[in-house]
């Protein structure tokens, strides 16, 4: 269900490289949520580092949304970047698994393509160059 990859880089370096890999693969970053800062603004003391990147390929999103607009409840795709026990990790819910919730077998090929790209993006961001 989840795909995760660890990195030996700092969270800042992985974030920078994630944004570069997203663009390289013709996706876009639609937003970045800093959960520590969001919780702090609500008076909650969360000390962990956790950034959630919303990424999307508009051409693929159009195919999906025209066929099944209800899938918009799971869009855009999210890649989380966080620290866990001293390690930096990227995680995402696999698009193929998300689509199973929507009874949309007609989109299996699109989901597989998106999933392949998101995994490549994450691997590139996590790996030392």
Q: How high is the pLDDT of residue 75?
A: 85
User: Under 8 Å CB-to-CB from 50, ≥6 apart: which residues?
Assistant: 34, 35, 36, 80, 81, 82, 83
CA angle 33, 66, 55 (to 5 degrees): 20
C-alpha distance across the termini of the chain, in Å: 28
Task: For residue 92, give the CATH number of its domain.
Answer: 3.30.310.70
Number of structural domains (the chain) is 1
What would the two tokens of residue 76 be?
Answer: 């855009």
Integer Cα distance of 27 and 55 in angstroms: 6
What's the number of CA atoms in the CB half-sphere (13 Å) around residue 62?
4
Structure confidence at residue 129 (pLDDT): 66
Q: In terms of residue numbers, what domain contains 62?
A: 2-126
Which tens digit of pLDDT belongs to each residue from 73-107? 988 999 999 999 889 999 999 998 888 888 888 88
């Amino acid at each position: 269900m989840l795909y995760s990859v660890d990195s030996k880089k700092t969270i800042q370096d992985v974030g920078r490289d994630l944004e570069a890999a997203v663009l390289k693969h013709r996706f876009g970053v639609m937003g970045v949520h800093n959960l520590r800062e969001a919780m702090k603004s609500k008076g909650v003391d969360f000390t962990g580092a956790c950034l959630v990147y919303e990424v999307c390929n508009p051409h693929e999103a159009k195919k999906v949304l025209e066929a099944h607009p209800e899938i918009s409840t799971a869009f855009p795709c999210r890649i989380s970047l966080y620290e866990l026990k001293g390690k930096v990790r990227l995680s995402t819910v696999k698009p193929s698994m998300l689509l199973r919730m929507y009874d949309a077998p007609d989109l299996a090929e699109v989901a597989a393509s998106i999933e392949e790209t998101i995994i490549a993006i994450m691997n590139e961001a996590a790996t030392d160059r």
